[in-house]
């Protein structure tokens, strides 16, 4: 379990998921959550939020840890 706090820069709704792009003290972070009906996620842009969840690495098709700069 992890907890991070930061400023939301973007919100993208796709199918049943919401992808939240944010900046935390260590740099950029992408969080993905399940979309709830009736919630206006666009209101999160420019908001300071705290997220609790599980962390995992993104990997390439050849199962290497993806590095984004």
37-50 tens-digit pLDDT: 999 999 999 999 99
Q: Model-level pTM?
A: 0.79
First to last CA, the chain: 25
- Listed by start position, the domains of the chain span 2-53
Q: Tell me the CATH number of domain 2-53, given options 3.30.1660, 2.60.120, 1.10.3470, 2.40.50.
A: 2.40.50
DSSP β-bridge partners for residue 20:
11, 31
How many other C-beta atoms lie within 10 A of the C-beta of residue 43?
10
Summarised one tens digit per residue, pLDDT across range 9-58 is 999 999 999 999 999 999 999 999 999 999 999 999 999 999 999 988 88
| Tokens coding 30 | 């992408």
Nearest to 58 by CA among 44, 46, 68: 68
| Tokens coding 10 | 């973007």
């Amino acid at each position: 379990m992890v907890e991070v706090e930061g400023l939301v820069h973007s919100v993208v709704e796709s199918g049943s998921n919401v992808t939240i792009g944010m900046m935390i003290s260590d740099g950029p972070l992408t969080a993905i959550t399940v979309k709830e009906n009736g919630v206006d996620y666009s209101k999160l842009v420019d908001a300071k939020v705290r997220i609790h969840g599980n962390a995992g690495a993104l990997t390439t098709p050849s199962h290497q840890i993806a590095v984004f700069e």
